[in-house]
Structures are given as C-alpha cells and as structure tokens.
Amino acid sequence: MPHFLYIKTVGCQMNVLDSEMVVASLRGRDYELVDDPRNADTILLNTCSVRQHAEDKIYSILGRLRRYKQKGPRKIIGVLGCMAQKDQQLIFERAPHVDLVVGPGQLQQIADLIEKARSGAGRQMGLSLGRRDGPAREIRRSHETFDPLRDSAMRPTPFQAYLRIQIGCDKFCTYCVVPTTRGPEQGRSPEEIVAEARILADQGCKEITLLGQTVNSYKYASGGKTTRLADLLYALDGIDGVERLKFVTNYPKDMNADLLEAARDLPKCSSYLHVPLQSGSNRILRHMKRGYTVEDYREMMCRVREMLPGAAVSSDFIVGFCGETEDEFQQSVEMVRECRFKNSFIFKYSERPGTKAADLFPDDVPDDVKRRRNNELLALQAAIGEEDNRRFIRSTVEVLVEGPSKKAGKQGSEGDTLQLTGRTICDRIVVFDGTRRQIGEIVPVTIRDCTAHTLIGEVVAERDGPDLFSIETPALRRQCEESRL
Ligand code: SAH
Ligand code: SF4
Ligand code: F3S
C-alpha cells in the first residue's frame, strides 16, 4: 500500500534542496506526493528559524493540524529543518500532536523515523549535537547530508537544480541562528560535488546553483591540496549539458581574485553575485560581528566592477538592528544608492533567543520605525532597479526560459503563444511571448520595456542591439579610479 506525503517548505534554498532529498528518499519507500494535506497520511513541515515570523507561521499551521490528527490519529505529522533543531522538545510541548522532530543534519533518518512512529513506537527525534555538546569531530559528524539522493520531479523546473557544496556556518554573526541550527562549516569533497553535478546533467539539468551559507568561503583540504570555489567552477564548467553555473550566498570578505577571474573567464559562470552587506554603518557591522567595514565592502565592489563590468550584484540588509540610529540607517540608504544593487532583500531585525545579539544588545528600535526604514529602503531599491533595467531597453539578452509566467498560468497547448518567464546570465527576470517548446532553452530576447523587477521583451530571430550590457555606476567608477591613484 503506498503512503501519501504532503510536504510544506519554508526558508532558504537549503531547505528547498533538503525537501527534494526527503521526497527522493520517501519515494524509494513507496510514498506518493500529494498537493493537498487532506489527502495525505504523512504531513511534513520543513521549517526555518531565521526570523520570529517564520516560526510563528509554522506554529500556526501546527495549530490547524491538530484537528487533522484528531480526525485521523494514524496520520503522521513531522517537523523538519532549522526550527526542529532549535526548538527540539519544545515543539512536542507546544504541539503534542506532532510525531517527529528532525533537524536538517539528520534528515537521512527520516524514512526510518516515520516508520517507527507509524508502528506505534511513540514520538521520534533526530537531532544533531549542539555546538558545545562534544568533541568537534562528533559535532561535525552529527550534521550529515544525504545529498546524492535527487528527485528531479521536485524541482520547480527539470533543467535547474541546487547543489550543496558546503553545510553549516562558522561566521557567527551576532543576530543569526544558522551556525546553531546547521552546525559547523564543512565543505563537501570536490569528487562528490562533481559526481552529483554529472548526475544532474544526465537528468537534463542545464543550470546548477551551488549552495553554501558563505559559498565563496568554500574550501576542502585533502592530500596536501586545498580546493576552493574557483577550482570547483573550473571543474564543473567542463561538464557537458550544464550551461549555467551560479553560486549563493557570498561573504564580502572572501570575494577573492581567483573567484572573480573564474567568473570572468568561464562562459558558463553567471555574472550575478549575491553579496549581503547587511548595514552601511561600521558601528552596526561591528555589533553584528560581520568581520568587514563599509570601506572593505566598497573596495570589494570596485574589484567586482573592474573585473566583471556587466555583473549584477545584490544584497541583504537588516534594518532596525539593536541601537540603530536614524543616521546609521541613512548610511545603509547611502550604500544602496552608491552600490546600485540589482535587488536587495530587506529584513526587519528579529531577535533570536540564544544568539549573541539577544544576550548583548536590547532590541530597542520600535517596530513602526523598523517598518518605515524597511519601506524606505525598499522604495529606493525599487527606483534603482527600474532605472538600471531601463538601460537594457533595445539590447538583446540571452534568457534561460523557465516556464509560463504567473500571468500565463497553466493555459496554452504546445504551439500556442503564451507569456513566458526566464532569467538572463545576470539573474534578471525577463518576460516575453513564446511557446511551450521554448521552455528549457536559452533564447535571445530583445528588451522593449521594464518594471523595477522585470525586463519585458520579445524573442528575436536577429539581434538588433548590443550583446552584453554593462551597467556602470558613476559613484563606483569614480572610487575605482581614485583607488587606482
Ligand atoms: N548566509 C547568508 C544568509 C543567511 S540568512 C549570509 O550570510 O548572507 C538570510 C538573511 O536573513 C541574512 O542575510 C540576513 O539579512 C537575514 N537575517 C538573518 N538573521 C536575521 C535576524 N535575526 N533578523 C532579521 N534578519 C535576519
Ligand atoms: Fe548567518 Fe552570518 Fe552565517 Fe550568514 S554568514 S548564515 S548571516 S552567521
Ligand atoms: Fe532558515 Fe535554516 Fe535557511 S534558519 S534561512 S532554513 S538555513
């Protein structure tokens, strides 16, 4: 008898990838995936703890699932991911109808733990060791991955996939739970990574996004040789079938020359760099323990603009971090203006119990001030996004077509014209009219119009604009020139 699995995933790309693995392993045990929890006998929530809001959402879903469990006591409800590792036993206390709690480093146990819970063995837990709960080797070992298990049907498109190259994080930014929930930073071996990329290419995958919390800090030492991200990119570039390589998220201090050279020289390598700045104030960066100054970040941006003039850079910001004054917030505004990010993800500071910031600094910026700062930064970023997108009008870009746009929905048979969406090598979203046959292909599109987040164009048989468009920002250019003096 098959089982029916419903899985809900929140959080970052790591969680999306983890859910793919979980589904792959459960399919191997005769589970079928369903998209309505009412039709499932196993309900899994893959959770995130990065902000309070993400946790509240899960506890509210768990509240609603209580009735399901009352109606069908044999149904299994599981909480996976970062919140499972962080809250552990507390989840059973707050939601007694939960059957299993499994952290991101123990997901290889998932099928067995479900089976035990189903056979009446009671509540099950699969957790990694805390960062001070034993010898370093054991702690590292307790954060495992079972990455080679892949399920192409779980991906948003069959030709795009994530590939984890690094687990955990050792940066310990004072506001962040990730070093606790995902454990110590560990690079996977290059052999494993390349082998997995080959499997993905054989499954028809054209675009691989390498994942790591600080992906450009990746290193793997073996036999006297250290492999870094740039070396991996050279190795992956040689795989037939793979046409694009991306990597997220970058840590500003580790953006070294080798990596920028690889990004410049390898045609498959995306010219998109997500390098979160977090704040434009040196005092705040120090309190966040980010390990760089605004001047360091500027210097990095100059090197990026010099080596990769057409690259798009995006950032994350936290507004309303403990003690952030209006003046300090305005320094973040200034940096958005100066760096002209392609886009920025902007978050209101959310105090996380157990972090250094929660221990050391009061969360003293009122919520309405956080909200106003968030909106102000978003509005500026949107205006910059639109201005920079305008500069693409009349140029031709190469678009990897991902599928019908939201507007087109599911309509249209094979030959019908419908609105498609895809991305440029700089990760810009492009919509244009085409046919389903173009999905998964890289097509040239001439840009006719734009919004802050989207380029709007049409497929061209012949190119009628410059091939590669480079956005130069006057302020940065000036600084680069000054720094050369
Ligand atoms: N490893 C990545 C991102 C991890 S979390 C990096 O270092 O860039 C993604 C983003 O969430 C962070 O970049 C940060 O902007 C935000 N974030 C993390 N903890 C937060 C908190 N406590 N409150 C608000 N935003 C937070
Ligand atoms: Fe969190 Fe900082 Fe690590 Fe990113 S680098 S995951 S923000 S501790
Ligand atoms: Fe959230 Fe864990 Fe990712 S806390 S952001 S799911 S690493």
Of all ligands present, the nearest one to the C-alpha of 291 is: 2
Query: Is residue 222 located within the same domain as residue 93?
Result: no
User: Residue 469 has what pLDDT?
Assistant: 39
Measure the CA–CA gap between 105 and 413, rounded to whole angstroms.
Answer: 43
Residue 293 Cα to ligand 1 midpoint, Å, equals 17
User: Residue 407 has what pLDDT?
Assistant: 83
Q: What is the CATH number of the domain that holds 297?
A: 3.30.750.200
Residue 150 lies in a domain: no
Enclosing domain of residue 292: 274-386
Query: Is residue 118 located within the same domain as residue 9?
Result: yes
Distance in Å from the first CA to the final CA of the chain = 73
Query: Is residue 358 located within the same domain as residue 421?
Result: no
Query: Is residue 308 located within the same domain as residue 422?
Result: no
Q: Are 447 and 426 within 8 A, CB to CB?
A: no
Of all ligands present, the nearest one to the C-alpha of 276 is: 1
Using a 6 Å cutoff on CB, does residue 420 contact ligand 3?
Answer: no
- The domain boundary, picked from 213, 241, 270, lies at 270
* Tens of pLDDT, residue by residue, the chain (485 residues): 899 999 999 999 999 999 999 999 999 999 999 999 999 999 999 999 999 999 999 999 999 999 999 999 999 999 999 999 999 999 999 999 999 999 999 999 999 999 999 999 999 999 999 999 999 999 999 998 777 677 777 787 889 999 999 999 999 999 999 999 999 999 999 999 999 999 999 999 999 999 999 999 999 999 999 999 999 999 999 999 999 999 999 999 999 999 999 999 999 999 999 999 999 999 999 999 999 999 999 999 999 999 999 899 999 999 999 999 999 999 999 999 999 999 999 999 999 999 999 999 999 999 999 999 999 999 999 999 999 999 999 999 999 999 999 888 666 566 789 999 999 999 999 999 999 999 999 999 999 999 999 999 999 875 444 444 334 444 444 444 444 43
Any residues with Cβ below 6 Å from ligand 1, and which? 50-51, 175-176, 178, 213-214, 249, 276, 278, 316, 318, 347, 349-350, 352
Counted domains in the chain: 4
343 pairs with which residues across the strands?
A: none
What is the 3-class SS of 63-111, one letter each residue?
HHHHHHHHHCCCCEEEEEEHHHHHHCHHHHHHCCCCCEEECHHHHHHHH
Q: 225: part of which helix (H) or strand (E)?
A: strand 225-228
Considering only CA atoms, which residue is closest to atom 19 of ligand 1?
A: 176
Q: If you compute the radius of gyration of the chain from its CA atoms, what whole number of angstroms results?
A: 23
User: Residue 39 has what pLDDT?
Assistant: 94
Residue 424 lies in a domain: yes
Using a 6 Å cutoff on CB, does residue 176 contact ligand 2?
Answer: yes
Residue 277: which residues within 8 A CB-CB, separation 6 or more? 252, 297, 315, 316, 317, 332, 335, 339
Q: What is the CATH number of the domain that holds 97?
A: 3.40.50.12160
Q: Are 282 and 294 within 8 A, CB to CB?
A: yes
Query: Is residue 245 located within the same domain as residue 283?
Result: no
Of all ligands present, the nearest one to the C-alpha of 82 is: 3
Q: Are 81 and 104 within 8 A, CB to CB?
A: yes
Query: Is residue 9 located within the same domain as residue 135?
Result: yes
- The domain boundary, picked from 386, 415, 436, lies at 386
User: Could you give the angle at the alpha carbon of 48 between the alpha carbons of 189 and 193, nearest 5°?
Assistant: 15
Residue 234: which residues within 8 A CB-CB, separation 6 or more? 262, 266
User: Residue 467 has what pLDDT?
Assistant: 44
Phi, psi of 277 (to 5 degrees): -90, -35
Residue 74 lies in a domain: yes
DSSP, residue by residue, 387-445:
HHHHTTTT-EEEEEEEEE-TTTTT---TTS-EEEEEE-TT--EEEEEE-GGGTTSEEEE
Residue 335 lies in a domain: yes
Residue 188 lies in a domain: yes
Query: Is residue 27 located within the same domain as residue 83?
Result: yes
DSSP conformational letter for 130: P
Measure the CA–CA gap between 275 and 289, rounded to whole angstroms.
Answer: 16
User: Residue 154 has what pLDDT?
Assistant: 79
Using a 6 Å cutoff on CB, does residue 142 contact ligand 2?
Answer: no
Query: Is residue 414 located within the same domain as residue 364?
Result: no
Is the peptide bond prior to 249 cis by the omega test (within 30 degrees of 0)?
Answer: yes
DSSP, residue by residue, 289-322:
T-S--HHHHHHHHHHHHHH-TT-EEEEEEEES-T
Query: Is residue 166 located within the same domain as residue 189?
Result: yes
Query: Is residue 121 located within the same domain as residue 28?
Result: yes
Query: Is residue 121 located within the same domain as residue 189?
Result: no
Using a 6 Å cutoff on CB, does residue 245 contact ligand 2?
Answer: no
User: In the numeric block, which tokens belong to residue 241?
Assistant: 């079938």
Measure the CA–CA gap between 49 and 127, rounded to whole angstroms.
Answer: 15
Residue 149 lies in a domain: no
Atom of ligand 3 nearest to the CA of 46: 6
- Write the CA distances from 430 to 212, 214, 270, 392, 448, integer angstroms: 26, 28, 16, 11, 11
- The domain boundary, picked from 345, 360, 386, lies at 386
Query: Is residue 325 located within the same domain as residue 408?
Result: no
User: Residue 145 has what pLDDT?
Assistant: 77
Residue 147 lies in a domain: no
